[in-house]
Amino acid sequence: MFKDSKIYVAGHAGLLGTALLKKLRAKGFGNIITRTRAELDLTRSRDVNEFFKKEQPEYVFLSAGLTGGLVANKTYPADFLHINISIQDNLFEAANKYGVKHLIFYGSSCIYPKNSPQPMKEEYLLTGLIEETSEAYAIAKSAGIIACRSYNAQYKTNRFIALVPNSMYGPHDNFGLENSHVLAALIRKFHDAKTEGRDRVVLWGSGKPRREFIFSEDVADASIFAMANAAKLSNTHYNIGTGVDYSIKELAEIISKTVAFEGTVEWDTSRPDGAAKKLLDSAKFSGLGWSPSVSLQEGLKTTYGWYLKNNGGR
């Protein structure tokens, strides 16, 4: 990518999209295209096709899509499947038709089998049953990864790049209690308990499952690095992680300190835990020369600071 290359960031107002805009602008890229959901419905193939025909973007970051935590995945599986597959299919077709140089698609660690060996390598995709609670979302993301590989193979190109970041967090995350991911939900719960003067917080599960978390701006930085090094990439997907995981109990302790909540935590073991462990093996991508730079503690401080400045993040 050159500084004047025409770049389209799909989903620019979300968690990853805002981080991409920040990083791209900081690195001097000025020819960036964005569209709100009201301006361009990415689930409508005709609208997407017309947009690509008119704007002719050279590079695309596909950070748009429907995401959510365990509750949302269980409640709206059809939405997670339909919306994500529709967006992916429409943008892949348009990017291929109008000669986009590179498009980055983002998968999710939930694509790997529920009982996958740890840390999870790229080759573990489709080698076992996936976690039931995120089945629809995982299938959509797996389809996107296979689509990248298939387009590249059929059209003899390296146009499509698939990255799989682990649990992402940061400013502009979704902090709703019903449809957020675990880290954002914990920030919201501890913040609410503190401001409401409560002396305890009840959390789902046992607190034993372990998760790897990566700051959104690190993922954005990895994405720009991938674009710059596209010629070195193989026709496969690449894991993007920190190499460090935390139990949900450890995460709750760190967040409670960040929020300055001084009460107690109780665990509702009648609620599901999800997969026991999800740690990515990111050796393939890190071997190209990229590494994350933001620690969990630093990232949480930044995220909570943003939350406080935006009316509690609601």
HSE of 190, CA atoms in CB hemisphere, 13 A: 26
- Told to judge if 76 belongs to the known catalytic residues of this protein, a careful annotator would answer no
Phi, psi (degrees; rounded to nearest 5) at 123: -75, -5
| Residue 9: its H or E element | strand 7-10
DSSP string, 185-216: HHHHHHHHHHHTT-SEEEEES-S--EEEEEEH
Choice among 137, 169, 304, 307 that is catalytic: 137
* Closest among 36, 31, 37, 43 to 2, alpha carbons compared: 31
Q: Is the preceding peptide bond at 119 cis, omega within 30 degrees of 0?
A: yes
> β-pairing, 245-247 with 160-165?
unpaired
For 114, how many CA atoms within 13 A lie in the half-sphere containing its CB?
A: 10
Active site residues: 137
